[in-house]
Structure 1
Amino acid sequence: MPLLFIIAGEAGQGIQTVEVLLPKIFKKAGLNVFSYKEYMSRVRGGSNSTLIRVSDIPVRAFKQKADFALFLSNDVSHLKRISNRLSSDSILVVDEEFPGIDDTLKVLRIPLLKTASALGNKIYANSVMIGFATALLGVDLENTLNIVKQYFSKKSKEVIFQNLEAVKSGYENGLASKKKLSITKLKQNKQICDQFLLSGAEAVAFGALAGGCNFISSYPMSPSTGVLVQLAKLSDNFDLIVEQTEDEIS
């Protein structure tokens, strides 16, 4: 049975890191994944979220109701924004000081921001939640740490260390919380590890090349930026010219 996670946070809080890393971690563990970005048109602030479905059978589509909702900050707009996607079975995972939650909802409170702040920056809350989510599904910790370390490999040793420590702390909280819950055990399949994991932007880029695209001129703006970036990465190996325009109306 597929499980659906919604991870919500403010723009600039590192939610993109979560939506990149969790699918990679779950897939490397032998699980099927499907993810979907949901964000507001803001540089910073607001409530952005990403949907991640995890299963031991193929999952290829959006689903409305969440099994778990994980909030990276104490902004109550996260709860207001996804309230219609919660059911009586949904479980909220929030910071210990998250305000204004209805008593009828199932809630797990963890020292999310305290842990992140102790490591030097509240932004590490995203790595804490990565550890938490992987522990809930029984994903091997070393597998998780290796993927996180590789992702941050170009950062300083301090940043790498702090993110790994955040993952470990989240993982410990996840194991402790798992004992209180009845979670569907997903069967991990090693064959899934060798399958391709593509974002929609990557798929569109490859499709454009397959269709004969040899020139693209565009101004980067979400959600199309990923297509431009991917085509730029491929341009050296294909007969393709990629140009970034100077502004939005060029």
Structure 2
Amino acid sequence: MISTAFSATPAHNNHPGIPSSPLTLCDDREIQSVLDLLTFIQEPELTDLRVLELACGLGPVTLPMAAAGHRILATDLHVDTLGMLSTRLDGLCPIRPDIADRVEIGQADMTDFHLEERFKAVCIPDGAITTLDPEQRRQAIHLAVAHLAPGGRLILSAEHVRPEAPSQASFTARPGIVLTEQIDHSHHRRRVTLTRGQETRTSDLFLVTPQDLLRDFEDCGMTVDYRHFIPDARRPHHTNIVFGTLKPR
């Protein structure tokens, strides 16, 4: 595992107990969708290539991909988050060295990066795309597609908040962790605050619809051949969407 830097924009975390990656609720169903999409890649010229993961966070999708046998270049903007992921991988070395050996960590801004390498898949997991404004989102998708080998796949998840969602709500995301959400539908924004004990962290996110993403994929010449809508039983107006798209040869 080699740490590299592709764009140096250090992050600052005022709450050391809470990582500075986006506030998201990745679950097993999203992870399984990502793994299923990677199994679709059977072409001999692609199977030996790596997966580029953007906004990897603490590795909720990184580690299952590596455990499934894929080699990953896991990137994130936040150096503190990458440090915590590196610690997780170090802890795996004695018991699962195969997983740790398949992951390389690097710092990258998903709206502004360039690599010479081409990948069999680019994964933007866990709703990270909603941290970007519309222009940044389109730029990130464009860059992701540009880094795919022909025939490669862009795998992207996003949380869709329907217009009827209340403007404010709270729920227990996990034991001891309360998530409060404020939604401004007219400006397509939402603010999510996570509270754990005395620690809080707030993320300002954008509302993104499936139609927004479909237009972005079309603008990049990508074919959508997979979509998985995962309702959130705890928040009835929220749906996690996983899209799989294919880059033409």
Q: Please give the TM-score of this superposition, normalised by the length of structure 1.
A: 0.28
Query: Greater share of helix residues, 1 or 2?
Result: 1
Q: Greater relative contact order: 1 or 2 (C-alpha under 8 angstroms, separation 6 or more)? A: 2
Query: Greater share of strand residues, 1 or 2?
Result: 2
Larger radius of gyration between Structure 1 and Structure 2: 1
Q: Please give the TM-score of this superposition, normalised by the length of structure 2.
A: 0.28
